[in-house]
Amino acid sequence: MNNNKLRLLSYVIIVYMLLAFAWWTILLNNKNEDAFTAKKELLRIVLIADNQYEDERSFLQHPSYLNLKQRYERRQLMIFGESLVFVISLFIGFWFINKGYRDIIKNSKTKTNFLLSISHELKSPVASVKLALETIIKRKLSSEQLLKVSSGALAENTRLGSLIENLLLATKLEDPYEIKIEEINLCELIQPMINNELLKYPEAQIVFQIEEGANIVKSDRFALQTIFSNLLENALKYSPTIKEVNMKIETSGLDIIIAVADKGIGIPDEEKTKIFEKFYRLGAEITRATKGTGLGLFIISKMVTALEGNIRVEDNDPEGSVFIVHLKDHLN
């Protein structure tokens, strides 16, 4: 039985229970009214027999009648009160069922997207390395050709290694990350990453600006490397036409502020908080052209949290996105 049939069955059961309980509520209320009417008439007969009945007005003010009426009203209140509690409980249950169904659908889509993306990401470099090795074995290559083929295979192997590292890191980050504070020169840390990205994207333009006095910080080296490398890679990867990236670092009080702006495809407002979820990617994996696993921004978010910071994404003008990271500088 698929999820849609289970959901439909749960709705049918809930509607049936509501109708059944409404019927029982009406039935109990009618029985309570009948019992009250019968006891009232019996009381009237008893009072007439004891010569205590004068008229209807005095009867309705008699202590025995008032006590009988009070018991009737208490039972009536109990019936409707319990009905109300049951209906509220049923609707809460319905809400949880509906939420659970939505979570199942969401997790199923996330799992499907991840399996599709990881399958492609793993197969692609393996196939490239295999092709390069077969070319080296089967053909006589010049030194220049051999260097080109070997460099391509090495690059694919490096990409595969990075993917595996990200998968392992994402698993480790399910537990809190323990930071190791040390003094870091940000220019020396970031410039090699920029050079590496320019090798992968020769047509890219990366502008790196750092405020005077913001170069030396105390933080976790591995966490900063992870944050900067993933931000740069994301900015370039999701800029299909104009690969222009601006990275700016400045200080504000005790915080380090990092802004990475691109001129890429941008992110819809409704997706801006979801993109930091594990394995989450925009669109359907089966029709997506951009490589990735949906781990980069998740890892960044976890590292930023470990460094007592926060991250947000804004729209760039006229197009693209700006990722803004606030981190605590342990130097201060």
Residue 129: its pLDDT value, please? 84
pLDDT at 159 over 90: no
Confidence class of residue 325 from pLDDT cuts 50, 70 and 90?
very high
Confidence class of residue 260 from pLDDT cuts 50, 70 and 90?
very high
Residue 259: its pLDDT value, please? 93
pLDDT at 288 over 90: no
Q: Which residue has the higher pLDDT, 229 or 278?
A: 229
For the stretch 36-83, pLDDT in tens is 889 888 888 888 888 887 788 888 888 888 898 899 889 988 888 888
pLDDT at 285 over 60: no
pLDDT at 284 over 60: no
**Strand 216-220, strand 244-252: pairing:** unpaired
Residue 86: its pLDDT value, please? 84
- The span from the CA of 152 to the CA of 148, in Å, is 6
Q: Is the entire prediction scored with pTM above 0.85? A: no
For the chain, percent of residues with pLDDT exceeding 90: 9
pLDDT at 324 over 90: yes
Residue 287: its pLDDT value, please? 37
Q: How far is CA 56 from CA 48, 62, 175, 268, in A?
A: 11, 10, 77, 74
Residue 48: its pLDDT value, please? 84
The average pLDDT across 86-113 equals 79
The average pLDDT across 233-242 equals 81
Confidence class of residue 89 from pLDDT cuts 50, 70 and 90?
confident
The average pLDDT across 194-220 equals 86
Alpha carbon 75 to chain centroid, angstroms: 47
3-49 and 63-138 helices, crossing angle to 10°:
170
- The span from the CA of 289 to the CA of 237, in Å, is 11
CATH architecture, domain 181-328: 2-Layer Sandwich (3.30)
Backbone angles phi, psi at 249, to 5 degrees: -125, 130
Query: What is the rounded average pLDDT for all residues in the chain?
Result: 83
Confidence class of residue 246 from pLDDT cuts 50, 70 and 90?
very high
